[in-house]
Amino acid sequence: MKRRDLFYAILALFILWQITSWLVDQPILPSPIQVIPVFFRELGGDLLAHFTVSMWRVLASTALAILLASPAGLILGQSPRLNAIFSPLIYLLYPIPKVVLVPVLILLFGLGDMPKIAIIFIILFFQILVLVRDQAASLRPELIQSVRSLGAGRRALFRYVYFPASLPAILTGLRQSVGTAVAVLYVAELFATQRGLGYYIYIKGSTFFDYPAMYAGIIAMSLLGLGLYFSVDWLERRLCPWQFTE
Amino acid sequence: MIRLQNLTFQYAQGQPIFRDFSWDVQRGETWAILGPSGCGKSTLLYLIAGLRFPAAGQVLVNGECISRPRPHTGLIIQEYGLLHWATVRQNAQLGLRIRGFYGPDGTHAPANFHASLDVDTWLDRLRLLPHAEKYPGQLSGGQRQRTAIARTLALTPDLLLMDEPFSSLDAPTREDLQNLTLELQTEQNLTLLIVTHTIEEAAILGKKILLLGNPPNTYPQVIENPQAGSNDFRGSDTYVTICRDLRAKMELS
């Protein structure tokens, strides 16, 4: 996607928002002309702090999910026996909407960052686990044999075959789930916290009825999601250049 | 150089593929291993490569009993042997990288191995330098197979095992690579074992041809073909006779 196209898309979105806000003509839908100055003013206030907290929660859970799900996926993908034991369990757990676990996690981990990080971690974990497992399982035995014939033992196979082969799966997992992760973060930040964009949006909207500030929060949360999405894109181009050749 | 002593091998189910099978290969020889599907010709190669192990008997290479892949044995397979996420140069360097990863430990890499990633001589020799930065997905079948050959030869093997390496290539490319293989065999003084299911390829490449039949194989049936590899052999009467002879023997077995 070209930068110019992206710029026009953003412009179109704001125009659509402006027109809708004229048509609706209610305080609940302020126009972007009202919201954007508030967004920058709030950034100078406490919006930036809420943004940073939310971003930390997403990044921490993402790092944790990659660190734990990738090796687990690689092990399951390499070992048909272990996979046979675990795959029914994964099959059952995978489609459960993990967001229902938010109250449970709050009860378990109490206040603070832990339950928020845990819920996003669980969502990303399953996504990455399944994709990496399938990727590792799809490596042809002929390939493994031919690399073994070059002298590779288990460690070298992991370093030169399994790890690079699973990179695209990790990134695809992230791409597919960052949207969900940010959505769930919003829900998680509604409970038992006074920090984070979810809390900020909720408190500005339903307690202070400060709608422009609420929309500033929504913009911040969208930027968080977009930023993550773009980062995954960028990483994919950096780390998996072979996927972008003709 | 290679000695199979009273070798017996079978997969988990079914009858043995080899039973009490013995066979010798001298250094510098070029063998084609020919037979119908399921006769065990690829299995034989994997046994010599140290990627499969006999139920009884032993495989000796240079007098050593094979219990794992040996650093000086190269193996080239039909397809799927390249890393699709690595460029031609990186693929050609893979064996050297693995040796560098372990260091000169004598098992994964030869004890006298000096770390190097220089493969350009081989890329040049195999006409791959202009493609060095391409990925396997951007290459023709012949270029891919030449990359696999470069990767193997970069490790300076003394024994080269090839498992139907040219069977997915079109006829002109196949012929080109067959000639290249023979040239390299002479140049590097390699002992070459090449598995094939086509009579013509066996006749072109193998100065000796090992004919395997329906399992269990109990003794080696060897056809001498000393003129293979000489100039104009493809057009000669000897070639036609050898092919006819091989066809008759395959039908018999």
For residue B228, give how far its alpha carbon lies from the nearest alpha carbon of chain A (Å): 28
- pLDDT at B55 (0 to 100): 92
Give chain B's residues under pLDDT 50.
Answer: none
The CATH code of the domain at A42-240 is: 1.10.3720.10
- pLDDT at A88 (0 to 100): 94
B78: helix, coil or strand?
coil
Q: Which residues of A touch B49 (CB under 8 A)?
A: 149
- pLDDT at A177 (0 to 100): 86
Instruction: Work out the widest C-alpha separation in chain B, in whole angstroms.
Output: 51
CB A122 within 8 A of CB A185: no
- pLDDT at A56 (0 to 100): 95
For residue B51, give the nearest of A149, A164, A167 by CB distance: A149
Report the alpha-carbon distance of residue A226 to residue A219 in Å, rounded: 10
Report the alpha-carbon distance of residue B158 to residue A60 in Å, rounded: 51
B40 touches A at CB < 8 Å: no
Rg (CA), chain A: 22
For chain A, give the percent of residues with pLDDT over 70: 99
For chain A, the DSSP string reads --HHHHHHHHHHHHHHHHHHHHHH-STTS--HHHHHHHHHHHIIIIIHHHHHHHHHHHHHHHHHHHHHHHHHHHHHHH-HHHHHHHHHHHHHHTTS-GGGGHHHHHHHH-SSSHHHHHHHHHHHHHHHHHHHHHHHHTS-HHHHHHHHTTT--HHHHIIIIIHHHHHHHHHHHHHHHHHHHHHHHHHHTTSS-S-SHHHHHHIIIIIS--HHHHHHHHHHHHHHHHHHHHHHHHHHHHH-GGGG--
pLDDT in tens, A182-211: 998 999 898 888 899 999 999 998 888 999
Report the alpha-carbon distance of residue A140 to residue A127 in Å, rounded: 23
DSSP B105: -
Q: Which of B197, B203, B198, B151 is CA-nearest to residue B182?
A: B203
Domain boundaries, chain A: 42-240
- pLDDT at B15 (0 to 100): 84
- Residue in chain B nearest A151 by alpha carbon: B108
For residue B135, give the nearest of A152, A164, A242 by CB distance: A242
Q: What average pLDDT score do residues A40-50 get? A: 92
For residue A151, give the nearest of B69, B80, B135 by CB distance: B69
More confident site: A60 or A98: A60
Q: Do B46 and A143 touch (CB under 8 A)?
A: no
Q: Do A149 and B135 touch (CB under 8 A)?
A: no
Q: Which amino acid is at B247?
A: R
Residue A246 has pLDDT above 80, yes or no: no
Average pLDDT, chain A: 91
For B6-64, the DSSP string reads EEEE--SSSS-SEEEEEEEE-TT-EEEEE--TTSSHHHHHHHHHTSS--SEEEEEETTE
Q: Do A146 and B75 touch (CB under 8 A)?
A: yes
Rg (CA), chain B: 18
Q: How confident is the model at residue A231 (pLDDT cuts 50, 70, 90)?
A: very high
Residue A60 has pLDDT above 80, yes or no: yes
B189: helix, coil or strand?
coil
pTM score:
0.83
